[in-house]
Structures are given as C-alpha cells and as structure tokens.
Structure 1
Amino acid sequence: MSAPLILVAETQPDIRQATRDYLERSGFRVMPATTGQDVFEALGSLPIGVIVLDSALRAADGMDLCRDVRERSDVPVILVGADSSEVDRVIALELGADDYMGKPYSGRELAARLRAVLRRGRGERVLGLRRQTEAWFDGWKVDFARREVVDPDGASVTLTSAEFTLLAVLLDHPQAVIARGRLMELAGIRDTPSSDRSVDVLVSRLRRKLGHAGRGAPIVTVRGSGYMFSAMVDRR
C-alpha cells in the first residue's frame, strides 16, 4: 500500500519546504500548493489523503477557503492559522475542518495529527465493511459501506469525515446517553483543553445537517452528561 498523499497548501516557502521535508522523512508523500487553484486542481486529479491548509492562502478571505474546499470535497482538512485561540479553533470546525493548528507548529505534532485523521478514516472504512448494512431513522437512510446519507425526500446530504464518524457512533448507541469523553474517544477526537468545545461544535454541525422540514435532528443534549440519539434506529 502506498504512503498517504498529503497536500501541503502553505503561503510561506520556508514553512512549506520544512513541512515537506519532515513529512517525507516520516513516511508520507507530499505535494506542495501555493494557491487555492493549486488545491482544487489537485483535488480534481489526485488521491489526496489529507489537506494541510494555511488559512492565509487566500489572503482577503482567510479561512473561507476551507469552506470552499469542504463544499467540493470530503477529504479531511487540517487548517493552519496564525492564531491558536479557542475562537479560531471553533471557527475552523464550523467551516468544516477536521482539526486546527496554530503557527508555529512542529513537524512532529503535524505528523501525529495526520496519522490520527487517517486512522479515523480507516476506521470508518473498516466499520462500513464490517457492517455492510444500512441504518434508518425518522425516514433518513445511512449506507455505511458507501458512506452515504439520504434525507426523507431522497436527497443526498454531504457529511465531512468527522461528521460521518460521529453519526455512526450515535447510531451505534441509540437512546443511550454517551458522555462527552466517551464520545470523543469513539469518534477519534483528540483530547485537548478545548476538546469539549470541539465535540459540541461537531454535534452542532451534524444537527444542522440532519434537520429536515422544520424538525430538529434527534440529537439531545443531556445537561452535565453528554448526548443522546433519541430516534429509533432500524438496521437492514
């Protein structure tokens, strides 16, 4: 099996080269990018495993480039920015990023985060192959093998890698309260000082996507405990 191909989209040449050198020594294949156009061309023609995306790549719009990438692809994104505050981390998650790193960062930490994102993706594929099944709830259909989510009207709903993993975990534990810590563990969310906030944002994103015809998503917040998927789940 070939090494994962990492697209490193970085504005600063020295950081871009240093990142490429370290990741290649760590066993990854790396493709550099310097513009948003480079990113979209690579996504359209290469099997990109993860994108390391500098939020300053499109100077005027900043992190909006992450939203544009997410609208076109479900390839995992690690967003990199000059600000490492919780506000920027939350914004990154809201825009669809799978992780966020503030500059300066070490190549060792980036490599570790890349492996974590890739492990989560492999876990989804293994999960789908093991189940080879569909789940239904409130008229929604989830195909694990194909990683497809279809709403009650038959329209496909696009979920990011992190959102699909979270949904799969919730569907595995219907009508049961899952503590935040356990949910983070099952969904492959890194344990950091802002992890609780990260999982809350991810749940919020999933809720928005699973809302339909004026009805909210069946994801209930249990104050002081965690979350519960309240709908009945039918496996077929």
Structure 2
Amino acid sequence: MSLLEIRHLTKIFAGGTVALTDVHLAVDRGELLVLAGTNGSGKTVLARHLNGLLLPTSGEVLLEGAPIAGRLPEVRRQVGLVFQNSDNQIVGETVAADVAFGPENLGLPPAEVRERVAEALAQVDLAALAEARPQLLSGGQKRKLAIAGVLAMRPKLIVLDEPFTGLDYPGVVQILRQLLRLREQGHSLIIVTHELEKILAHADRMAVLSAGRLVASGAPGALLGLLEEYGIKRPYGEERPVATMTWLS
C-alpha cells in the first residue's frame, strides 16, 4: 500500500477556473518524489490538497489507504506542508516558540513539547538559535525553521513547495543538505519545484504537471527529454531508457 495516493483529483475554483484535471499519483514510503512544472501548472494547488488545505471538486486523496476527508486534524499531523514563503509559516516570537506552536496546539504535555522542540531544532541545526528572533534569521535559516515546525509534529510525509526560491547559494546548500538528511532518516518527501538542477539527481521519481494535468511520471533520467516540451528547464544529465517511464497523456 502506498503511503499517499491521489485518485482522479479535479479542482475547479469558483468562477470556473480549472486548476487540476483527473490527477492520479501515488507516493511510497521513504520516497523522494519531485513534482515538476512551470508556474501556473497546478503544483501548489495540488500540494495544498495533500493535507486538506484545499478540497477537491471531484476525486480524493488517501493516506495509508483511507480518504483524508473527515479526518483533517489527524491528516495535518501526518502530512506536513512547508510553504514557499517561510514568513507565512512563522508565528513565534522566538525560534523555539515557533517550533512549539504545533505541538502545543495538539494539547501535548509541556515536557513532551519541549522534547519535540529540542529534537526538531537539532535535526535542522538550529538548536543554538533557539532563543533568537525568527525575523533576524537568513532566508535559508527561516526555511529550516519552517521545516522544524513541521518535524515537531512528527509527520510521515513532508511536502515542500519551491524550497529553493529566493535563496542564495549557501542557503540552497543548507536546504539541500537538510532534505537529504530527512530522506536518510526515513521521511517521505515531495519536493514541488521548477528548479530541477538543485534536487533531481537525488530524486527517486519525478512527476510532471502541465496545465493542471499529470503528463508523465517515472525515473528522473527517463523524463529529461520531455521537460522542454512542457516549458521546464532541463538540467544537465544523461537520459535513461524510456522503458522506465510511464506516459500519462
């Protein structure tokens, strides 16, 4: 059984804008999946369906084989979403207080909250900045703080929306190292991005969205020749046999 499965998901916003059409995709445990597409392809809209921030017009999302509809509080503990703009996710007056926000809202005992905060900050190398003001952090550190806030909820799946946007080279390196560390620790990851050169070499699989449709899914190397057809900048690398690729349109 897949950890998460999207079944024939369609999203039509009020006014008739069709954002997603019949998307079907599964994510396995421990997998690092890259979800690629140009701006406006539907990547962020799809990501926000994975923990119920948006609800589909038709179709469904399943977590561990059960639909997420009707159990969103539980699902949001299991599927963590890191937004593109980290400032939108930071609410605490200190780094530690920000990470504590989620566990405190679960009603956990103070001792367990402190344990989760310390564990999450250690995982992202921010323990030394526990009492710092989040506003004074660098872009890369803010992104790591947002990841720590998600980790404190102890999710099974972490979805990161454009995690490299706005970061300088040191910030990109910080976040890439963090993502690879999370993968080594057994987390399932979905990386939503158009900046494939930063992550694709480490991905288990890639899925490509175009105009709200999932057009291909498969081994990253097998999809390289397809990317430019859908307006996505192709990173350097060798193609693999097309037999490892699944065509969806």
More strand by share: 2
TM-score higher than 0.5 here? no
Tell me the TM-score normalised to structure 2 length. 0.29
TM-score (norm 1): 0.30
Structure with more relative contact order (C-alpha pairs < 8 Å, separation 6 or more): 2
